[in-house]
């Protein structure tokens, strides 16, 4: 009745921003990401307990984080009431809820550990559908490498799951996380998305552009065409944020250093360094770089005033159950 899973976070090259069904957490569009290592979430689930408990990074969690986990566990309890309550122990070896994609690895690891501890063996698609209901980006973190999330067409969401397009060995890209603040992000992604869907005059335009972006990004990744990918991924990030900024009130995740980094990354690229930026629901900037240039790019980013730290990740593999690593 207990199991431990590891999942790696992912960063989107074509962003997911907006839901078509809030209750089922169905995305309005597809998305496309790269799963990253060595950073990871490790989660242990033990069913058959007296009450639900969440220990997150060593501390007992209450309020929104616990409620979110309980709602997720309810999805399994609906079909398997004998499971009862669960203890969930989860830790990240990178900052949690800071716009650094911890919900992607968090709900992927939880979906895998919770089903495995319950003795259920789900297909990769069914596991991705389950993880999606915890967090949209989590559907993509069950697979390693380059992953495409299919928005699906079915009202019940059964065809809204992610599939691997290229393995983590396909292309030696690195991602440099340039941290611009300490602490947790201000607007949860679900709140920012819902506000954008409800009030942004640019939301439909954002959605209309995603199918072509998905096709083009997949082709650029397949051909390892860095310049093309840089242009497409920066456009997707800026268009996502433009639609959010245009909501009423505007959903603005950036700080001044975020903007400095956008300019700096473009300047470095103009000087010949293979780098591009992307930004998620937080003020940090993730800089993609070809492996051979990672050290030079990292050194350049550390020089930028206001950058509080830079850490590097590389393409990562599938989420998995672990049996041999002590907690």
Name the residues that contact ligand PMV, by CB under 6 A.
12, 15-17, 31, 103-104, 135-137, 189-190, 280-281
Give every CB contact of residue 241 below 8 A, 6+ residues apart in sequence: 253, 254, 279
| Identity of the residue, 105 or 116, whose beta carbon is nearer to ligand PMV in the bound complex | 105
Q: How far is the CB of 25 from ligand PMV (least distance, A)?
A: 8
Q: How far is the CB of 142 from ligand PMV (least distance, A)?
A: 13
Q: How far is the CB of 37 from ligand PMV (least distance, A)?
A: 17
Residue carrying structure tokens 């909501």: 247
Omega prior to 288 cis, within 30 of 0: no
Q: Would you give the DSSP letter of residue 183? A: S
Q: Would you give the DSSP letter of residue 41? A: E
| Identity of the residue, 39 or 83, whose beta carbon is nearer to ligand PMV in the bound complex | 39
CB 162, CB 16: distance < 8 Å: no
| Identity of the residue, 140 or 269, whose beta carbon is nearer to ligand PMV in the bound complex | 140
| Identity of the residue, 183 or 305, whose beta carbon is nearer to ligand PMV in the bound complex | 183
Backbone phi and psi for residue 325, each to the nearest 5 degrees, phi listed first:
-105, 115
Q: How far is the CB of 119 from ligand PMV (least distance, A)?
A: 27
| Identity of the residue, 1 or 212, whose beta carbon is nearer to ligand PMV in the bound complex | 212
Q: How far is the CB of 77 from ligand PMV (least distance, A)?
A: 22
Rg (the chain; Cα; Å): 19
How many other C-beta atoms can be found within 10 angstroms of the C-beta atom of residue 131?
32
| Identity of the residue, 5 or 281, whose beta carbon is nearer to ligand PMV in the bound complex | 281
| Angstrom distance (rounded) from CA 282 to CA 273 | 25
CB 42, CB 221: distance < 8 Å: no
Question: What is the sign, positive or negative, of the torsion defined by CA atoms of 60, 4, 103, 172?
Answer: positive
Q: How far is the CB of 232 from ligand PMV (least distance, A)?
A: 14
Q: How far is the CB of 237 from ligand PMV (least distance, A)?
A: 9
Beta bridge pairs of residue 31:
149
> How do strand 41-49 and strand 19-21 relate by DSSP bridges?
unpaired
| Dihedral of the alpha carbons of 100, 16, 295, 261, in degrees to the nearest 10 | -80
| Identity of the residue, 84 or 209, whose beta carbon is nearer to ligand PMV in the bound complex | 209
Q: How far is the CB of 46 from ligand PMV (least distance, A)?
A: 25
| Identity of the residue, 34 or 230, whose beta carbon is nearer to ligand PMV in the bound complex | 34
| Dihedral of the alpha carbons of 201, 205, 206, 212, in degrees to the nearest 10 | 180
């Amino acid at each position: 009745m207990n199991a431990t899973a590891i999942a790696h976070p992912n960063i989107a090259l074509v962003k997911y921003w907006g839901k078509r069904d809030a209750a089922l957490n169905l995305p309005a569009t597809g998305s496309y990401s790269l799963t990253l290592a060595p950073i990871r979430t490790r989660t242990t689930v033990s069913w058959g307990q007296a009450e639900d408990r969440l220990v997150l990074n060593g501390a007992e969690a209450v309020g929104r984080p616990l409620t979110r986990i309980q709602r997720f566990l309810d999805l399994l309890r609906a079909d398997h009431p004998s499971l009862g309550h669960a203890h969930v122990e989860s830790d990240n070896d990178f900052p949690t809820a800071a716009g650094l994609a911890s919900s992607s690895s968090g709900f992927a690891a939880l979906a895998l550990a919770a089903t495995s501890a319950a003795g259920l063996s789900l297909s990769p698609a069914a596991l991705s559908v389950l993880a999606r209901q915890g967090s949209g980006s989590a559907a993509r973190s069950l697979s390693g490498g380059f992953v495409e999330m299919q928005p699906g067409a079915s009202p019940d969401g059964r065809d809204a799951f992610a599939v691997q397009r290229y393995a983590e060995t396909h292309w030696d890209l690195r991602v440099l996380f340039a941290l611009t603040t300490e602490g947790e992000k201000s607007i949860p992604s679900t709140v920012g998305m819902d506000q954008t869907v409800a009030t942004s005059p640019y939301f439909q335009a954002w959605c209309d552009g995603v199918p072509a972006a998905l096709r083009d990004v997949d082709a650029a990744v397949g051909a390892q065409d860095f310049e093309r990918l840089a242009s497409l991924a920066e456009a997707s990030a800026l268009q996502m944020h433009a639609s959010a900024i245009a909501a009423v009130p505007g959903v603005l995740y950036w700080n001044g250093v975020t903007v400095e980094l956008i300019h700096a990354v473009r300047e470095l690229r103009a000087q010949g360094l293979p780098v591009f930026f992307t930004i998620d629901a937080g003020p940090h900037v993730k800089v993609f770089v070809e492996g051979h240039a990672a050290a030079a790019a990292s050194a350049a980013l550390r020089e930028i005033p206001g950058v509080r730290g830079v850490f590097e990740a590389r393409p990562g593999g599938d989420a998995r159950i672990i049996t041999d690593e002590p907690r």
